């Protein structure tokens, strides 16, 4: 295993309401020194969840919401921040109820994904939800989200949809499809 670089200095060089830009001065094991910048969340950082919620053996829930980063309405999986003291599965169920209007009788943590590890410290926990039932909780979204669905057989088509661009969501859907196929729940 490679030796991680030595941190020579660490400084917050910019802040916003949600994020900080941290500058890291590093020395690598070969003596080369570099300065990196990374986006870090503010506060304690309890993490986030993304939910692959299965309506049936083939269809997963998608939600449509306005995304400030792309300045577009986009389709993605339900997701949100984990609140202080909340575990991953409880956060997944709460976010699923707030964003899509479903609860889940079965929740399973699948994996942890990052978005852009070269520049961002944030990671998201991927949860598989099944045996859904209708239940809505009031969330913090500024407007109701439109709920849609995707057939796990059509993920390559989803990737071509101009309203769907989140790589983490696509990876989560493929992981869920592979797991469900291995378990014999989904027949590809």
What would the mean pLDDT of 109-131 be, rounded to a whole number? Answer: 90
pTM attached to this predicted model: 0.88
Name the least confident of 21-25, 29-33, 56-60, 68-72: 68-72
What pLDDT score was predicted for residue 44?
46
Per-residue HEC secondary structure of the chain comes to CCCCCEEEEEEEEEECCCEEEEEEEEECCCCCEEEEEEEEECCCCCCEEEEEEECCCCEEEEEEEEECCCCEEEEECCEEECCCCCCHHHHHHHHHHHHHCEEEEEEEEEEEEECCCCCECCEEEEEEEEEEEECCCCCCCCCCCEEEEEEHHHHHHHHHCCCCCCHHHHHHHHHHHHHHHHCCCCCC
Give the pLDDT of residue 122.
82
Share of the chain above pLDDT 70, in %: 97
């Amino acid at each position: 295993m490679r030796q991680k670089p030595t941190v020579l200095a660490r400084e917050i060089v910019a802040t916003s309401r949600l994020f900080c830009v941290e500058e890291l001065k590093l020395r690598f094991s070969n003596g080369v020194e570099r300065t990196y910048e990374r986006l870090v969340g503010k506060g304690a950082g309890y993490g986030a969840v993304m939910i692959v919620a299965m309506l049936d053996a083939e269809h997963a829930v998608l939600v449509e919401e306005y995304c400030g980063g792309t300045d577009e309405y986009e389709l993605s999986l339900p997701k949100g921040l984990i609140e202080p003291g909340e575990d991953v599965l409880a956060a997944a169920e709460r976010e699923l109820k707030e964003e899509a209007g479903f609860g889940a009788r079965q929740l399973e943590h699948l994996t942890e994904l990052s978005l852009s590890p070269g520049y961002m410290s944030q990671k998201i926990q991927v949860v598989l939800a099944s045996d859904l039932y209708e239940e809505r909780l009031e969330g913090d979204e500024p407007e109701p989200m439109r709920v849609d669905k995707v057939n796990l057989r059509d993920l390559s088509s989803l990737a071509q949809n101009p309203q769907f661009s989140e790589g983490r969501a696509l990876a989560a859907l493929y992981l869920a499809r592979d797991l469900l196929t291995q378990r014999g729940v989904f027949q590809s």
